[in-house]
Amino acid sequence: MSATLRISEIFYSLQGEARTVGRPTVFIRLTGCPLRCQYCDTAYAFSGGIIYSLDQILQELKQYRTKYITVTGGEPLAQENCIELLGQLCDLGYEVSLETSGAMDVSRVDERVIKVLDLKTPGSGEVKRNLEANIAYLNRLDQVKFVICDREDYEWACAKVNQFKLTDAVDDVLFSPSNEELEARELAEWVLADQLDVRLQVQLHKYLWDNKPGH
């Protein structure tokens, strides 16, 4: 019998963040998350969802021509069978990214998967949940993301970038302003003033579709 996962939604849209921003991508949003970040914009994925077999998920993907797949949540690694899904997607030739918090063990994630690791800042309310041991499992193609709520978060993120030499560990360190808490222009000015080797990112999907589910 095929393994199963509880899924909130599977949808086709443009990637709104990270290295492949703007690319047509299929998103597989898994249900459930052990964290409660104060700025979370996908609280609808905390519960509910529909049980899919892995075979059903792979069959649904066949209707889309894109080679890009993003597995997200919630927190996708909160479901054990996510690991198997990621491996099967890679076996089928998809370019797979995993959006995960810094709170779940990534050591078993297939090395072909691009991990987008979201280290939680103090402003998230969940900074104590970061599992810093995950940093040892990052490779060059992975990405580390910081959602910045205020100047304190910015300085905390800068300290972590330096502490773990993140710009040497991965190709992209992402600084993203928390929606409705910090203006992107202000964060951009901080990054330029300090001449940081990071990528400022804004969430494209919020500009295009106002963060509606399914986009």
Question: Is the CATH code 3.20.20.70 the one for domain 4-209?
Answer: yes
Domain boundaries, the chain: 4-209
pTM of the predicted structure, to 2 decimals: 0.93
pLDDT under 70 in the chain at which residues?
1, 205-207, 209-215
pLDDT at 180: 86
Written as one string, the DSSP assignment of the chain is: ---EEEEEEEEEEE--SSTTTTSEEEEEEE---S---TT-S-GGGSS--EEEEHHHHHHHHTT----EEEEESS-GGGSTTHHHHHHHHHHTT-EEEEEEETTS--TTS-TTSEEEEEEPPGGGT-GGG--GGGGGG--TT-EEEEEE-SHHHHHHHHHHHHHTTHHHH-SEEEEEEPTTTS-HHHHHHHHHHTT-S-EE---HHHHHHTT-TT-
For the chain, what is the mean pLDDT? Answer: 94
pLDDT at 132: 95
Edge-first strand order for the sheet with 95-101 is 50-53, 4-14, 24-30, 68-72, 95-101, 114-119, 143-148, 172-177, 199-200
pLDDT at 205: 66
pLDDT at 28: 98
CA distance 214 to 183: 25
